[in-house]
């Protein structure tokens, strides 16, 4: 299986090269030449998470050997990295299946892919005889940063720099990053929002002069964002796992369809669900849940993507995004891999911040995707609602999805809600939802209070923050991100 750019660059690369380079050099994203199809998925029904992982990954990472992939999987999805025996947990509450993806080290769903990406990348470096240092550049809306730092810390031959929007992440998210250990980790606050940080990173990738300068120092760039195929593919696994698990337990029959609802930002998680569907998993509707930055909601309903609107800081900060990178991959597929067309609309987008899709693509989109959105007030309302009803605690992002499902007209299929973060990561807002009091300013006190009310233990990832020192303090302007890299590497 080879990978190609969504924007038509003719050069094909292997899967390990796609993982290594992160992004095609014409500004497009790598896509596999075809999407593998599994005729009958039922053969996997007794498999563990790790075994299913192998069945999925082997279809996409075809130049990795069986042993390489299995070592990556065993290392990533281990008891040490996840505090759930099944890696994910599935809970039936209020008639929905909550797929808890936050039992990894940094207590957000980003661990699902970022526990394995560094391993896939290390193998890719060896496989392609890269005798260079790899510098991972990552923009984060809060959760990717910490998960990537944790995944890449102290790995030989790799450095990682994370850019996060100053003031655009939760206090706990920020503390998790600023206290990061490891001698190869860098954390930089950007004076701007997530889109500024993500654009800055993309520009650095496409800045030829800068890349040559790095190359002269024997450094190449790679990415830990969901633009990297090594992030996307591991996210397919848990949709298969969920379906197989429900079928095996007799909650559904093989062949029954499920709907999947995903709180969406960069369109990575929901795109992985879409790939699962294309691969033969019986998913009916993909429900795209937005917060008040509802650029995707508007797009799905009108066919017009328009980022020219105020960027709103919400209580679900990991979804505060107006430029949803992975949408490009979906449009590439829906257009019949028409890379000329994709290049065209993204050129238009670069100039005007807006594009309108063809009618046939809009029709194809609406066959598979529906969308809803929640403002902060409704989001907090639904946190309290499900807690009062089921004594079940969810975070602000998951609550966006849950609220969207509750307010949607009935669909006949069961719905799986991707539960993307531990409520403790957003403790002030979750507490505000439950008690309607302004937050305490001490996060440990807030966590203790939440634990008392909910009887859910404080996760170690949060608890340990009280003993950790701040190790990073760089702040940069949004147009000087490249300079901050040269400073940090003393170039």
* Cα 462 to Cα 105, 113, 173, 431, distances in angstroms: 10, 20, 9, 15
Q: Which is nearer to ligand PLP, 421 or 481 (CB)?
A: 421
Gyration radius from the chain CA atoms: 21
* 263 makes contact with ligand PLP (CB under 6 A): yes
Catalytic residue among 110, 307, 362, 432: 110
How far, in Å, CA of 151 to CA of 81, rounded?
Answer: 10
Stretch in the footprint of ligand PLP (CB under 6 A) among 41-49, 105-113, 450-458, 473-481: 105-113
Residues in region 215-244 near ligand PLP by CB under 6 A: 226
Least distance from C-beta 31 to ligand PLP, angstroms? 17
Question: Which one of residues 122, 184, 242, 420 is an interface residue with ligand PLP (CB under 6 A)?
Answer: 420
Least distance from C-beta 47 to ligand PLP, angstroms? 25
How far, in Å, CA of 273 to CA of 485, rounded?
Answer: 35
How far, in Å, CA of 80 to CA of 105, rounded?
Answer: 9
In the structure, how many helices (H) and strands (E) does the chain have?
A: 22, 15
Q: Which is nearer to ligand PLP, 20 or 169 (CB)?
A: 169
Least distance from C-beta 410 to ligand PLP, angstroms? 25
Query: Nearest Cα to 136, choosing from 186, 175, 81, 63?
Result: 186
Residue 110 annotated among the catalytic residues of the structure? yes
Stretch in the footprint of ligand PLP (CB under 6 A) among 27-35, 202-210, 265-273, 464-472: 265-273
Stretch in the footprint of ligand PLP (CB under 6 A) among 156-164, 193-201, 262-270, 381-389: 262-270
- Does residue 283 contact residue 260 with C-beta atoms inside 8 Å? yes
CA 22, distance to chain mean position in Å, is 15
* 329 makes contact with ligand PLP (CB under 6 A): no
Q: Which is nearer to ligand PLP, 339 or 405 (CB)?
A: 405
Question: Which one of residues 319, 415, 431, 485 is an interface residue with ligand PLP (CB under 6 A)?
Answer: 319
Start-to-end CA span in the chain (Å) = 38
What tokens does 474 get?
């760089």
Least distance from C-beta 486 to ligand PLP, angstroms? 29
CA torsion, ordered 397, 403, 409, 411, to nearest 10 deg:
60
Question: Which one of residues 104, 168, 234, 265 is an interface residue with ligand PLP (CB under 6 A)?
Answer: 265
Q: Which is nearer to ligand PLP, 98 or 341 (CB)?
A: 98
* 314 makes contact with ligand PLP (CB under 6 A): no
How far, in Å, CA of 279 to CA of 188, rounded?
Answer: 38
SS3 104: strand
Q: Angle, nearest 10°, between helix axes 376-390 and 427-435?
A: 70
* 266 makes contact with ligand PLP (CB under 6 A): yes
How far, in Å, CA of 127 to CA of 475, rounded?
Answer: 36
Question: Which one of residues 397, 431, 476, 482 is an interface residue with ligand PLP (CB under 6 A)?
Answer: 397
* Residues with active-site annotation: 110
Q: Which residue ranges make up the site for ligand PLP (CB under 6 A)?
A: 108-110, 143, 226, 263-270, 318-319, 397, 420-421
């Amino acid at each position: 299986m080879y990978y190609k750019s969504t924007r038509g660059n003719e050069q094909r690369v292997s899967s390990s090269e796609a993982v290594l380079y992160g992004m095609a050099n014409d500004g497009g994203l790598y896509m596999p030449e075809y999407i593998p199809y599994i005729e009958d998925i039922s053969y996997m029904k007794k498999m563990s998470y790790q075994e299913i992982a192998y069945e999925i990954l082997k279809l996409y990472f075809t130049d990795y050997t069986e042993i390489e992939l299995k070592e990556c999987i065993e290392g990533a999805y281990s008891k040490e990295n996840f505090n759930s025996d099944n890696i994910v947990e599935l809970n039936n509450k209020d008639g929905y299946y909550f797929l808890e993806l936050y039992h990894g080290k940094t207590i957000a769903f980003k661990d699902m892919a970022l526990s394995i990406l560094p391993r896939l990348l290390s193998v890719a470096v060896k496989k392609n005889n890269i005798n260079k240092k790899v510098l991972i550049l990552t923009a984060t809306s809060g959760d990717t940063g910490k998960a990537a730092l944790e995944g890449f810390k102290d790995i030989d031959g790799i450095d990682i720099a994370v850019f996060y929007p100053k003031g655009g992440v939760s206090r706990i998210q920020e503390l998790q990053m600023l206290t990061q250990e490891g001698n190869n980790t860098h954390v930089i606050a950007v004076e701007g929002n997530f889109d500024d940080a993500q654009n800055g990173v993309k520009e650095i990738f496409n800045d030829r002069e800068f890349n040559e300068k790095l190359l002269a120092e024997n450094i190449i760039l790679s990415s830990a964002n969901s633009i990297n195929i090594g992030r996307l593919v591991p996210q397919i696994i848990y949709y298969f796992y969920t379906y197989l698990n429900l079928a095996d337990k007799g909650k559904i029959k093989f062949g029954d369809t499920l709907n999947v609802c995903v709180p969406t930002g960069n369109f990575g998680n929901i795109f992985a669900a879409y790939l699962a569907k294309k691969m033969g998993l019986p998913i009916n509707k993909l429900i795209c849940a937005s917060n008040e930055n509802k650029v995707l909601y508007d797009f799905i309903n009108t066919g017009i993507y328009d980022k020219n609107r105020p960027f709103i800081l919400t209580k679900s900060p990991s979804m505060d995004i107006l430029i949803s990178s992975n949408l490009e991959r979906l449009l590439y597929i829906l257009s019949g891999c028409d890379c000329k067309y994709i290049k065209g609309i993204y050129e238009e987008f670069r100039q005007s911040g807006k594009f309108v899709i063809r009618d046939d693509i809009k029709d194809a989109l609406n066959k598979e995707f529906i969308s809803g959105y929640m403002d902060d007030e409704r989001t907090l309302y639904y946190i309290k609602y499900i807690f009062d009803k089921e004594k079940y605690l969810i975070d602000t992002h998951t609550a966006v999805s849950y609220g969207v499902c509750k307010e949607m007209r009935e669909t006949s299929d069961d719905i799986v809600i991707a539960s993307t973060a531990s409520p403790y990561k957003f403790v002030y807002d979750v507490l505000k939802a439950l008690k309607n009091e302004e937050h305490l300013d001490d996060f440990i006190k807030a966590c203790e209070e939440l634990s008392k009310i909910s009887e859910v233990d404080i996760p170690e990832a949060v608890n340990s923050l009280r003993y950790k020192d701040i190790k990073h303090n760089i702040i940069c302007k949004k147009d000087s991100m490249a300079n901050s890299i040269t400073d940090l590497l003393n170039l």
